[in-house]
Amino acid sequence: MFETATFDSMGTIHTRSRNWMLATFSFNASILVLLIAIPLLHPSMLPQVLPQMMCCILIPPVQEAPPVVRQQAPAAASPSEIVEGRIQAPPRIPSHTWIPTTMEPALPPGAISLGGPAAAPGTGCDPFNCSDTHPVVRQAPQAKPNISKGVMEGLLLNRVLPTYPPLALAMRVGGRVELQATISRSGTIENLRVMSGPAVLQQAAIDAVKQWRYRPYLLNGEPVEVETMIDVNFTMN
């Protein structure tokens, strides 16, 4: 009796275990079929499902290798021979002095050397030490002699009287206009300048004096240009 009961109980337990496993497998299989069938039957739901599935997939970030920084060794500072504006003595004196052992190349034909006795073209002598050449001496231009009014009055050949300006007559302006002029070698008036005098009378004085003529002033028997002063008086009657 006891063994039969045990057998029946164990057989019942095994039967229930198999039924539970079959039920669990069927449930899991049905869920798997639904997950596969829903995207096939409704493709429009696939873009909504994929982001939810991808959100759980963590992609590890790619770490870039840090750049390699190479530090350059600081260049050795050359000792300066000038400190605070004063030249310092070198730390050591070289034991050997460089002496050139090769000669300089010859100058091309026609070249002139400053250190050698080269001849200037066409003269046949050293341009810096030539006894055959003579320096050209030119006299500096002499200043025009300044002749007094009285002397030039004696050389005057033609005097033109000025015309009294009507404005000056209306304003009753009179007086003296002083001019400075250059008398050429032929006795004509050149470079006439006003030195002083009423403004309303100056142009009339210039127009008259421009027509004056002088005898040439002789210096050592040669006519020369001279500077002189000329006075023009305006007097109302």
Does some domain include residue 40? yes
- 89-139 pLDDT per residue, tens: 777 777 777 777 777 777 666 665 555 554 445 555 555 565 555 666 666
CA angle 181, 182, 186 (to 5 degrees): 130
- 26-35 pLDDT per residue, tens: 887 877 777 7
Whether the CB-CB separation of 130 and 183 falls below 8 Å is answered with no
- How many CB atoms are located within 10 Å of the residue 67 CB? 6
Does some domain include residue 142? no
Whether the CB-CB separation of 226 and 144 falls below 8 Å is answered with yes
Instruction: Tell me which residue range forms the domain holding 33.
Output: 2-53
Domain count, the chain: 2
Does some domain include residue 77? no
CATH number of the domain bearing residue 196: 3.30.2420.10
CA distance 192 to 62: 97
Does some domain include residue 181? yes
Average pLDDT score over the chain:
75
pTM of the model: 0.41
